[in-house]
Amino acid sequence: MMNLEEYIYEKTVQCPICENEFKVFAAKQKAYSVKSRDTDFCITYKDINPLLYDIWICQLCGYAAQKSTFSDISFKRGKLIEQFITPKWVARETEKVIDYETAISNFKLALISAQISRAKASEVAGLCLRIAWIYRFMEQEKNEEQFLRYALEKYLEAFSKERFPLENMDEPTVRYLIGELYFRLGNYEEAAMWFSKVLNIRGASERIMNLTREQWQLVKEKLKKENGQK
């Protein structure tokens, strides 16, 4: 049986808000490989899932965020963290081996930090989507659906207000993802509308075009069934 601790490494990072240095853990790249990919970009890995280690939490001030955005917080947003999170923060031990429950807790702390500090809608959407994925790994369908809805709501807001790329996704990719979230939530008419826009837009990658065509066919079948057609 795989000893997970052997495939986890430690590094020191600095909080951009309080300048506290603290330790975080991450999975070594050689420790995981892709097992499967879902159509909403969720990846299932063999052995260790690196997604579970994606949140960094400062144990001094309580600021939490995905490692990709951790250092990108503005001075104004940092002040909101200090005002509303730090006074209530109780430090806790950093886990070396992170299970699903701990990962959910960490992601929700990051979600609170993002909401309180008024992060972009796209950042909030990405956190909600990843929480939904972890609930999927746990086979908690109701919780997964709840956070897929939150993610969809925020991606729609980001699509209308923010400049591309959103979370390193170009416009066709975001259009596809919104369509896919509608599809997973059973709103096939909206899914069809968003997928059709991807098929008619220039600049979409071959991967996104192929995914869209495949999902578009599934949507058409669902709509036929809803309308009583054979």
Same domain, 29 and 140: yes
For residues 203-215, average pLDDT: 96
CA 181/CA 146 separation, integer angstroms: 11
Same domain, 115 and 175: no
In a domain, 230, yes or no: no
CA 178/CA 180 separation, integer angstroms: 5
CA 178/CA 159 separation, integer angstroms: 9
Residue (of 33, 47, 36) closest to 4 by Cα position:
47
Residue-wise pLDDT for 57-101, tens only, equals 999 999 999 999 999 999 999 999 999 999 999 988 888 999 999
- Among the three residues 116, 139, 163, which one is the final residue of a domain in this structure? 163
Question: What is the span of the domain harbouring residue 85?
Answer: 4-163
CA 117/CA 104 separation, integer angstroms: 20
Residue-wise pLDDT for 157-177, tens only, equals 999 999 999 999 999 999 999
Residue-wise pLDDT for 131-164, tens only, equals 999 999 999 999 999 999 999 999 999 999 999 9
- Among the three residues 109, 142, 163, which one is the final residue of a domain in this structure? 163
Can you give the length of the chain in residues?
Answer: 230
Same domain, 155 and 191: no
Over 70: is that where the pLDDT of 2 sits? no
Same domain, 67 and 135: yes
Contact (CB, 8 A) for 167 and 159:
no
* Count of structural domains, the chain: 2
Rounded to the nearest integer, the mean pLDDT of the chain is 95
Same domain, 190 and 158: no
Contact (CB, 8 A) for 114 and 123:
yes
CA 57/CA 41 separation, integer angstroms: 25
The model's confidence at residue 43, banded by pLDDT at 50, 70 and 90, is: very high
In a domain, 121, yes or no: yes
Same domain, 45 and 141: yes
- CATH number for the domain including 53? 1.25.40
Same domain, 16 and 62: yes
CA 136/CA 184 separation, integer angstroms: 12
- Among the three residues 109, 141, 163, which one is the final residue of a domain in this structure? 163
Same domain, 157 and 174: no
